[in-house]
Structure 1
Amino acid sequence: MDDERKLTYPQAALTSLLALVAALGVGHLVAGFVGYTASPFVAVANFVIDHSPHAVVAWAEQTLQTWDKVVLKLGLAVVLVLFALLTGWLSQRKPLPGQVLIGLLGAAGVAAVYVRTDLGQIALLAPVAAVVAGLVVFTRLHLFFLPRVFFDDREGDGPDRRKVLITGVSVAAGAGVAALTGQFVGTRKNAEDSRAAVGRLVAARTAPPIPPDADFAKFGTPPFFTPSRDFYRIDTALVVPQVRTEDWSLRIHGMVDREVTYSYDDLRSRPLIERDVTLCCVSNEVGGPYISNARWLGIDLRDLLIEAGVKPGAEQMFATSVDGWTCGTPVEAALDPARGAMLALGMNGEPLPIEHGFPARIVIPGLYGYVSATKWVTELEITTWQEREAYWLNRGWGREGPVKTQSRIDAPGSAVNAGKVVVSGIAWAQHTGVAKVEIRVDQGPWQAAVLSAETSKDTWRMWWTEVDVAPGQHQVAVRATDQSGYTQTEERVGTVPDGATGLHTVSFGAR
């Protein structure tokens, strides 16, 4: 009779789902004490981000934009639920298939935590605790749901609905309490309070004032300064790191005369400088949105590197973020006094927003962010290209990453009135400077646009012009020429390996 006993599929599915919930809750609880990103769910999601094919990453960035990580979490949750349902279906008669599958899933969680460079070995306790909790709950519930067998070989009923309800609610509630406790413990060092305590940052060397005609927002361009809340954000952090100033330090080591470590107070007490710098992401397609401009406040990075003493033969400044992300920058760019590389502490008149790198980040004009803009930076290793390979470099991206001369059309929209039409947008050639912008309507001749005042070669410039259009459909293209004499190529190239090229073209209707 024993061999004939089995769970109904709803019972088996509930058993697996409750085991999954218990595993995730306990794993999140332990992660609160040993490292927040050691939570199995977070670790596996981060693993997916780190190992997804470029085509998938590019599609997510372009299509989902800032919702990409939310969609990833939802997608992973759906996969886990389907996995639990499959486990239940395979385990209606015996718990062994489910136990094996739970063990395999747990091993994946352990592996995802093990490969993270920002976590120590103690962090493995989180996925181990998760798999133990999942196995215990699954085994106990499987036994709980099995019909009882009496001495005379009669098969009894399984637990009644009241017991099922009480048991299910108890397990789910326990898992929820565990997860919430882990969330509270893991985020109790809230960086927002630390950020508020920094107070006002004051520059000893201020940036030049912005002239009134620095932007053409009235003609449809973005404002000269991008508000911090609107500044584009592209990073691999599934969970935004919460780093307090009192816990943060910056270590410079490797091919240097002396290893140095700076606390936040060490850096804040120095004379601070202001610079207006436009940042652009290498994954920005032609005409894309991943470019923004801000006023940065911080310290000359060159000064810190000189204090450490960069040795001859050094080629790369290998930067590491608190979440383990790495970035390789040419040493000559970091040391070039004309380039103005910064360790930024502030942005747009306030301490760095947490999602943009608080307490400190790197800002190097003229280089795409993947080689120049490490957020939540904690370590700078001076080394060679052969010795260390940064996060994006071993995924097929270029090594140097200079920003390419580009331009974008922001107005008009899809429909306008025939007659005089304003066409406007932005152009950029960081560290070289924009010399002129031209537009072409319906494959006609190129005509010059009006450029906004140049405040720095490291910031974007706005442009606008007015054209006459008849009723019907029209197409407008734009190109920029930088101050070296280079004019944008019309050849359309994708973002890999070192940035897109091509002319931005938009179509609109006139009525």
Structure 2
Amino acid sequence: MNSTPTDAPRAWAAAGLVAALAGLAVGHLIAAFALPRAAPLSALSDAVIAVVPLSVSHWFIELVGTADKPLLITGIALGVAAAGAGVGALWRTRPRLARSLIAGFGLLGAAAAVTRPGLGAGAVVPSLVAAVVALASLTWWDRRERTRAEAGRRAFFGVLAGVAAAAVGASWWASRVGPAAIEADREAVRLPEPDLPATEPGPVADFKVEGLTPYRVPNGEFYRIDTAITVPRVDVDTWSLRVHGMVDRELTFSFDDLLGRELIERDITLACVSNPVGGDLVGNARWLGVRLADLLAEAGPSAEADQLVSRSSDGWTAGSPTELVFDGRDAMIALGMNGEPLPVDHGWPARLVIPGLYGYVSATKWLTELELTTFDAYDAYWITRGWSTPRPIKTQSRIDTPRTRAGSGEVVVAGVAWAQHRGISAVDLRVDDGEWHSCELSDAATGDTWRQWRYAWDATEGEHRLTVRATDGDGVEQTEVSQGVLPDGATGLHSVTVKVG
């Protein structure tokens, strides 16, 4: 049945919805080939993170954990779709206001993009193009409706659906290829052999128990926590690292400059401050890189500079105590991870690794700047959001296996424990409310890595509660006092309830 411009509100709402989605798809396609972080949904999500109250941010992260970013993007996408439907319905009676709203949404996305750190004026283009596509689409729909062309509806929906699908497909392809073939450039790099190889931990660093996390976590399974809605894709040929601030001389290094320096190789465990007791936001890897203290020394840092601020290509910052860089620990600018160039998701082409500190104050990925300053002069990203200034990593232990069920008889209980830069000297296991039993520890070369532990448990039928406790290299037992992750890391003992039988 034909319709007039005023008697088919559902059709107009559907037209607005499809126009908005087509605009988004084209905007993301434009961004994928030039500035992925300027894509409308990515830019809007970044802007929301920047302005949302801290209490809301903390509540949301505690509620959904690592699903926070996908859920945020999904929510904004649904909001844009709903807004598109609303604008489409409005167009049928107040087209001028509808056009103004589309323009306003385009300007909002452009403003969100251009104000993101590390993005220039060109970041406005994807959102403005998205608005133009949506506006042109609804203008076309309007003309079809006013000529009472039923076939025009089918053409409209068919064409825009095709445009959106093609744009989404092309965006996916572009994200795989990456601007300047980022992944291909990474894979083409051949890392030199380390000048100072890692000390091997010993013959029994990995117990190889089924269900137990391996001593070195493969790159594809290593935890990833950062604020990047869209992972930065950095062109290694134009990348540079700038050292500045309270120094005698500013220095700039290219990727080849770093590869040409003395390279150290070390096994180091990284941990996220938001890792709950028993959580998996921790992992051990073998890193290859440049000793940070040597590089900073060439710049001549001021004795008053007590904070090293590291900046990512997307503007994220972390503040590390300068004294911990120069106290002899193996702080480094890492270029390799587990025998290959850093994966894009883990900071390609360079990231910071400082043993003994949580990642939010030390493990900057996609590193571009190192600034010597003071804690009084500058608060880094997470410090402004309610987290504490740098504190040592807290002693933690985790039961990996079994987690829920086990057969009766001898059962191997196993897991990992960590207290980076202090090391682990003992791990004990308790069954129900019984006494603590000493566990067997795997070999370790340094205190900067976690250690595996295991215990042969004579399991009897029924439900049992297993609890693990670690002691660090200084002889201090892990505390039983439970504390959430805010403001400086969780504490408490990890327990699991296992049904035997």
Whether TM-score is above 0.5 comes out as: yes
2:198 corresponds in structure 1 to: 207
- Equivalent residue number for residue 236 of structure 2: 245
CA contact (8 A) 1:368 1:403 kept: yes
d(CA) in 2 for partners of 1:386 and 1:98? 49
- Residue 83 of structure 1: aligned partner: 83
What CA deviation, in whole Å up to 9, does each residue of 1:156-181 have, x standing for no partner?
A: xx1122x2222333344445556666
> Residue 237 of structure 2: SS of its match in structure 1?
helix
SS of 2:180's equivalent?
coil
Return closer, same or farther for 1:272/1:370 CA change in 2, 3 Å cut-off.
Answer: same
Do the aligned partners of 2:5 and 2:142 also contact (CA within 8 Å) in 1?
no
1:201 touches 1:350 (CA, 8 Å); kept in 2? no
CA distance in 1, matches of 2:211, 2:26: 52
* 1:18–1:500 distance in 2 versus 1, CA, 3 Å: same
Q: Does residue 485 of the first structure (1) align with residue 497 of the second (2)?
A: no
Tell me the SS of whatever aligns to 1:246: coil
1:440/1:183 Cα in 2 relative to 1: closer, same or farther (>3 Å)? closer
Distance (Å, rounded) in 1 between the aligned partners of 2:65 and 2:50:
14
Alignment-mate amino acid for residue 56 of structure 1:
F
**CA positional deviation for 1:218:** 2.4
Q: Report the CA distance between 1:30 and its aligned residue.
A: 4.5
Say yes or no: does 1:365 pair with 2:369.
no
Does the 8 Å contact 2:110/2:123 carry over to 1?
A: no
1:239-280: CA deviation from partner (whole Å, max 9, x where unpaired): 222223212110111111111000001110112110110011
Contact 1:7 1:145 in 2 (8 A): no
**104-113 or 394-403: which moved more?**
104-113
Q: CA deviation at 1:29?
A: 4.8
The normalised TM-score by structure 2 is 0.92
Output the TM-score relative to the length of structure 1. Answer: 0.90
Matching residue's letter, 1:95:
P
SS in structure 1 of the partner of residue 485 of structure 2:
coil
In the aligned structure 2, how far is the partner of 1:355 from the partner of 1:480? 31
Deviates more, 1:13-22 or 1:495-504: 13-22
The 10-residue stretch of structure 1 (317-326 or 52-61) with the greater mean CA deviation from structure 2 = 52-61
1:171-205 CA distance string (max 9 Å, x none): 44445556666777783312111112211431011
Deviation by residue 1:68-125 (Cα, 9 ceiling, x = unmatched) = 5444433332222222222233333221342243234223312311320111133223
- Contact 2:247 2:372 (8 Å CA) reproduced: yes
Q: Which residue of 2 aligns with 1:28?
A: 28
* Residue in 2 that maps onto 1:154: none
Within a 5 Å distance, the mapping from 1:22-421 to structure 2 comes to 22-32=22-32, 35-51=35-51, 53-62=57-66, 64=67, 69-146=69-146, 148=147, 158-161=148-151, 163-174=152-163, 187-218=178-209, 220-336=211-327, 338-421=328-411
Q: Structure 1: state its 5+ residue gaps.
A: 149-157
Write the distance in 1 (CA, Å) between the matches of 2:61 and 2:261: 40
Tell me the distance in 1 between the aligned counterparts of 2:429 and 2:173: 54
Which sits farther off after the overlay, 68-77 or 80-89?
A: 68-77
One-letter code aligned to 2:134: G
Q: How does 1:492-511 map to 2 (within 5 A)?
A: 492-511=482-501
Structure number with bigger Rg: 1
2: CA distance, partners of 1:439 / 1:125: 58
Residues 24 and 510 (structure 1), Cα distance of their counterparts in 2 relative to 1, 3 Å cut: closer
With over 3 angstroms needed to count, the CA separation of the structure-2 counterparts of 1:183 and 1:420, relative to structure 1, is closer
Counterpart of 1:312 in structure 2: which amino acid? A
1:184 to 1:434, Cα distance in 2 relative to 1, 3 A = closer
Instruction: Tell me the equivalent position of 1:153.
Output: none
Aligned length: 492
Q: Does structure 1 retain, via aligned residues, the 8 Å contact 2:46–2:116?
A: no
RMSD: 2.3
Q: In structure 2, how many angstroms separate the alpha carbons of the residues matched to 1:451 and 1:34?
A: 50
Distance of 1:20 and 1:219 partners within structure 2: 49
Distance 1:366 1:185 in 2: 38
Q: Would the aligned equivalents of 1:190 and 1:243 in 2 still touch at CA under 8 Å? A: no
Between 478-487 and 417-426, the greater mean CA deviation after superposition = 417-426
Q: How much has 1:355 moved relative to structure 2?
A: 1.1
Deviation, 1:346, is 0.6
Instruction: Find the aligned partners of 1:203 and 1:268 in 2 and give their Cα distance.
Output: 10
Is the 1:28–1:183 contact (alpha carbons within 8 Å) kept by the matching residues of 2?
A: no
SS at match of 2:209: helix
- Hey, what does 2:430 align to over in structure 1? 440
Aligned residue identity for 1:428: W
CA contact (8 A) 2:217 2:284 kept: yes
Letter matched to residue 128 of structure 2: V
Q: Secondary structure, in 3 states, of the residue corresponding to 2:392?
A: coil
Secondary structure of the corresponding residue to residue 17 of structure 2? helix
CA distance in 2: counterparts of 1:467 and 1:108, whole angstroms: 60
* d(CA) in 2 for partners of 1:435, 1:29: 53
Contact 1:343 1:360 in 2 (8 A): yes
Distance in 2 of aligned mates of 1:171 and 1:330: 54
In structure 2, list runs of 5 or more residues that go unmatched. none
Contact 1:24 1:179 in 2 (8 A): no
Judged with a 3 Å threshold, the aligned counterparts in structure 2 of structure 1 residues 51 and 283 are, in CA distance, closer, same or farther, namely farther
- How far apart in 2 are the matches of 1:279 and 1:367? 8
1:471: Cα distance to partner?
1.6
